[in-house]
A = this chain, B = another copy of it.
Amino acid sequence: MSGLRAQKKADKNRRILEAATTLFRKVGYDSARIEDIAEMAGVSVGTFYNYYKNKGDMLMATVSMEVEEVLAAGEGIIAKKHDQVASALFDLIGKYYDHSLTYLSKEMWRTAMSLSIAQPETPFSKRYTALDHRLSKQVCDLFRSLQDRGIVRKDVDCMALGELVFNNVNMMFIEFVKDEDMDVDGLKASVAKQNLPVASLISVGAH
């Protein structure tokens, strides 16, 4: 039987991933030791490193899942027939933020962001950055969609503005995960306030 090796491999992969995510959520990323993850998965420490390049790599699976789902949900929001810039932005960004803690804790987000900044040449960082860019592009797409439907002024550079707005969304999310006391509603309110001048200025018919 030639599939025995592949089967064992898939099984171990699953067990390690399961053990890691369980422990990350239970005791936090930092306190979850590789030794513990390996033990819970029923493998040795060395085997862990056969399946994952390092501890941070384990996070990326979860981050990826999280962001992919958010991107899919975002497409649905963009397809809607919004009649206001501010509310369209609020919907899209709200979706991002609402979903953000589904699989990841604030501590896990902090670790992921921290890693992606500290070691930009790693696959981890590159994948993280790529996901960020897709989110950024989605905000641009929303502006363009609104512009096509006559909600946003024709003379606005949607790409530039989308990047600006998304970078603010992202930076505010960093502040959010840095502050254990801040809740999603507070975050959404702050960002909505920051977006308001922009929304009002680019709206057709305003002023």
Contacts and interface: CB of A to CB of B under 8 A. Distances in A.
A117 interface: yes
A160 B111 contact: no
A13 interface: no
A131 to B, nearest CB: 14
B164 A194 contact: yes
A54 interface: no
A196 B194 CA distance: 17
Contact of A178 (B111, B125, B172, B180): B125
A113 interface: yes
B125 A117 contact: no
A202 B195 CA distance: 14
A163 interface: yes
A71 B197 CA distance: 26
B118 A111 contact: yes
Interface string A156-173: 110011011101101110
A198 interface: yes
A32 to B, nearest CB: 15
A197 B117 contact: no
Contacts of A180: 120
A157 B164 CA distance: 17
A40 to B, nearest CB: 24
A87 interface: no
Interface of A: 110-111, 113-118, 120, 125, 129, 156-157, 160-161, 163-165, 167-168, 170-172, 174, 177-180, 193-198, 201-202
Given A114-B117, A167-B172, 18 more contacts: A110-B118, A110-B120, A114-B115, A120-B178, A120-B179, A125-B178, A129-B178, A157-B197, A160-B196, A161-B194, A161-B197, A163-B168, A164-B164, A167-B168, A167-B170, A168-B171, A198-B201, A201-B202
